[in-house]
Structure 1
Amino acid sequence: MQFTASTVSLTVDDVARSQEFFTAHLGYAVRHAADGFVSLSHDDAVDVVLLARGIEVLPPEQRDQRVSGLILAFTVASGLADEEKRLREAGVRITMPLLEEPWGERLFQVTDPNGVIIQFVEWAAPQHG
């Protein structure tokens, strides 16, 4: 099997609010849109599809589900502290402030208006001793 793309599909209450968040703050662009559906793309990240909760294209047992327990994580090469500052100044809700784990992972989290948790990660340079 050969994959041609990777996409995360998220079911949310308000597609327009998440679309605005992803395009305004994360650099995503709208590729396709219809009532209750939007496909977003980014040159450097996984594509994201937003579906309205209750949309009939989903099987009946999935229609009423919301995004829950999912963390959409993006790894950046550098500048994590600057990104946190930029998002904070733009009024984005920082739900986990920047921290550094003992194993060298630096990270912070934001949450979009529909409760989608987005985590940004930067790995510290390995220590040579």
Structure 2
Amino acid sequence: MNIVSSAVSLTVGDPAASSRFLTSHLGFRQILTGEGFIALGRDDAAVDLLLMERDPERWRPDQGLTEVIVVFTVTGLAAEYERLRGEGATITIPLRREPWGELMVQLTDPNGVAIQLTEWISPITG
């Protein structure tokens, strides 16, 4: 089996708001739109995102939700962090370095979708 592409489907209350966030701040573009959904892609190796509108007749809050974090591995994260701050993106975890060699920042889109940007760097040695 060969996987030739991949996508993450996110069910949100306002697909257009998430689309604006991802196209404005993270360089995605709309590749397909329809009633209740927007498909986003990039020209690089990033996973495609499918934003599905939550159907209030099928979604019940008492069923609980699984937290989803969309993670993108990037380069030049420190500069990207400054750019995102300057654009007013909602940053929920500021830029930080983890001892195992991860530089990361986490954003949240208008629908509460967590998006983590990670750059792999040298681990901290003591």
Shift of 1:127: 7.7
5+ unaligned residues in a row in structure 2: which ranges?
Answer: none
Q: Aligned residue pairs: how many? A: 121
Shift of 1:68: 4.3
- 1:105 matched to which residue of 2? 102
DSSP 3-state at the match of 2:49: strand
Aligned equivalents of 2:17 and 2:90: distance in 1? 14
- Deviation string, structure 1 residues 35-91 (Cα, Å, up to 9, x no partner): 211111112200000000008xxxx8xx416874111001113x1111111111101
Identical columns (%)? 49
- Structure 1 residues 102, 126: CA separation in 2 closer, same or farther (over 3 Å shift)? closer
Q: How does 1:41-80 map to 2 (within 5 A)?
A: 41-44=41-44, 45-54=46-55, 63-64=58-59, 68-77=66-75, 79-80=76-77
Shift of 1:33: 0.3
Alignment TM-score, normalising by the size of structure 1? 0.85
Contact in 1 for aligned 2:99/2:123 (Cα 8 Å): no
| Aligned-pair Cα RMSD in Å | 2.1
Is 1:115 equivalent to 2:112 in the alignment? yes
Alignment TM-score, normalising by the size of structure 2? 0.87
Give runs of ≥4 in structure 1 deviating > 3 Å.
Answer: 65-68, 125-128
5+ unaligned residues in a row in structure 1: which ranges?
Answer: none
- Structure 1 residues 127, 68: CA separation in 2 closer, same or farther (over 3 Å shift)? closer
Amino acid at match of 1:98: L
Aligned equivalents of 2:60 and 2:122: distance in 1? 40
